[in-house]
Amino acid sequence: MRLILVGPPGAGKGTQAVQLASHFSIPHISTGDIFRLNIKGETKLGLHAKSFMDAGNLVPDSVTNDMVADRLTHPDAKNGFLLDGYPRNIGQADFLKENLEKSGTPLDAVLEFKLENAEIIKRLAGRRACRGCGATSHVIFEAPKVAGVCDSCGGELYQRPDDAENVIANRLAVYSEQTEPIINYYKSEGLLKSISAVGEVSEIAARAIAALK
């Protein structure tokens, strides 16, 4: 299964990606996670990406495309993959298409998560991420057992700089201007499946799997 997840920030793509990757036994490839790992490790790539990310803008395609192309050559992606957070504009979608055509391994499906703007803002503003394992939670909707502490690994929870309220508006604008156009792009290729991102995590996971059958 070669699968892409698309949806606004805060739609829960990351949470669902973990479940879907395990269901289909494919690697979960999140460009946001790869960038954050590089920032944490203070690599050249991380230093370059940080200023774009903190402002809620896209990291330039020249950097992102090569990073993904390289990741897709890893042995674990041989029999499929789940891309979470990529492509995020038409240029990236074109690049990916060409890259996959070259290897004769076209996409199987693109799964869109739909969510209202008002709900997105509520989710992002209360979202917290773990410094240890990267898992996300929410101060109200998915409160950890102990405030500020990750349920999965005991790591410290923090607010991502791009979840700050003044950055959220820009991320939503970037999403509607740059990312939303790829939804029609994949629709015209006959690859698009859309589901609502409202509800319990398990409910949405079941919806996603049903849509991909």
Active site residues: 13, 88, 127, 160, 171
Residue with the CB atom nearest ligand ADP in the bound state: 32
Where are any strands of DSSP class E within 97-187?
A: 109-114, 127-130, 136-138, 157-158
Q: How far is CA 146 from CA 58, 126, 134, in A?
A: 34, 16, 17
Longest CA–CA separation in the chain, Å: 49
Of 70 and 213, which CB lies nearer to ligand ADP in the complex structure? 70
Q: Which does 153 bind (CB under 5 to 8 A by kind): ligand ADP, Zn ion, none?
A: Zn ion
Identify the helix (H) or strand (E) that includes residue 30: strand 28-30
Distance of alpha carbon 87 from alpha carbon 85, whole angstroms: 6
Q: Which does 28 bind (CB under 5 to 8 A by kind): Zn ion, ligand ADP, none?
A: none
Measured distance between the N- and C-terminal CA atoms of the chain, rounded to whole angstroms: 11
Q: State the nearest-atom distance from the C-beta of 207 to ligand ADP, in Å.
A: 19
Q: State the nearest-atom distance from the C-beta of 140 to Zn ion, in Å.
A: 19
Residues 50-79 within binding reach of ligand ADP (CB under 6 A): 52-53, 56-59, 64
Q: Does 134 bind ligand ADP (CB under 6 A)?
A: no
Of 41 and 104, which CB lies nearer to ligand ADP in the complex structure? 41
Asked if 61 contacts 98 with a C-beta cutoff of 8 angstroms, the reply is: no
Of 53 and 135, which CB lies nearer to ligand ADP in the complex structure? 53
Residues 11-30 within binding reach of ligand ADP (CB under 6 A): 13
